[in-house]
């Protein structure tokens, strides 16, 4: 038996709850292992200390008071709140894409301008050797991955924008009627949920 197996059963042994067939193996290991004996002595001291402390029980009305402090039912999130949260996420994602489209090239120019300075400084400080100076580092690879994903996203959104624009220009009345119907359904659904809560 090794110390790992002994430690797994030591708590049960100290409390007297170990299976009788496993007890001789633990005792023979404890006879030759001072580390496990110290662990057992520490467990027994903790057990005796806890046994000497008075047991504290909660008051009789503790459960009733805790249940009374809880709200009667969980607060339901309205459909409007869920829709506004989703709209906020979509607007944030769109803002990130537009910001990348607008300011991405200037950030790339700043990075290109400082790239030589950073590599020279890393050579001087010894972070790179002249042999590995031309190899792309993890930051270069990460930046390239971000650029590739950004270009893919911009291309996807441009295609999606063209599709939406073509649908709207082909059938503007149908699109406006569909949006009006969705808004009406949303208003009726939210009104019924508010009345059901009241």
pLDDT of residue 134: 55
CA 123 to chain centre: 37
Residue 198 has pLDDT above 80, yes or no: no
CA distance 194 to 186: 12
Burial status of residue 36 (CB atoms within 10 A of its CB: 0-12, 13-18, 19 or more): buried
pLDDT digits (tens, 9 = 90+) for 157-173: 777 777 777 776 777 77
CA distance 19 to 99: 67
Report helix angle 172-197 to 79-125, nearest 10.
110
Domain ranges of the chain: 3-55, 79-197
pLDDT digits (tens, 9 = 90+) for 5-34: 888 888 888 888 888 888 888 888 888 888
CA distance 22 to 28: 10
Question: Cα angle at 20 between 18 and 24, to 5 degrees?
Answer: 95
27 and 1 Cβ atoms separated by less than 8 Å: no
pLDDT digits (tens, 9 = 90+) for 79-119: 777 777 888 888 888 777 777 767 766 666 665 666 666 66
- Averaged confidence pLDDT in the chain: 76
CA distance 112 to 142: 15
Question: What are the C-alpha distances in Å from 99 to residues 47, 91, 136, 150, 187?
Answer: 62, 12, 27, 11, 33
CA distance 26 to 11: 11
**pTM, entire model:** 0.31
173 and 58 Cβ atoms separated by less than 8 Å: no
Q: Which residue has the higher pLDDT, 143 or 85?
A: 85
pLDDT of residue 9: 84
């Amino acid at each position: 038996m090794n110390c790992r197996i002994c430690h797994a059963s030591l708590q049960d042994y100290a409390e007297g709850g170990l299976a009788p067939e496993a007890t001789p193996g633990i005792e023979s290991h404890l006879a030759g292992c001072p580390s496990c004996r110290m662990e057992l002595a520490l467990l027994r001291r903790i057990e005796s200390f806890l046994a000497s402390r008075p047991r504290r029980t909660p008051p009789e009305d503790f459960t009733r008071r805790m249940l009374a402090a809880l709200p009667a039912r969980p607060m339901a999130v309205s459909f409007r709140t869920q829709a506004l949260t989703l709209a906020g996420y979509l607007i944030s994602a769109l803002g990130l894409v537009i910001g990348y489209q607008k300011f991405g090239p200037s950030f790339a120019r700043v990075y290109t301008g400082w790239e030589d300075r950073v590599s020279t400084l890393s050579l001087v400080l010894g972070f790179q050797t002249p042999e590995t100076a031309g190899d792309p580092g993890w930051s270069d690879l990460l930046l390239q991955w971000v650029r590739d994903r950004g270009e893919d996203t911009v291309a996807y959104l441009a295609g999606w924008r063209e599709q939406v624009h073509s649908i709207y220009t082909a059938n503007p009345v149908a699109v406006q009627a569909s949006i009006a119907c969705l808004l009406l359904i949303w208003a009726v659904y939210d009104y019924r949920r508010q009345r059901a809560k009241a």
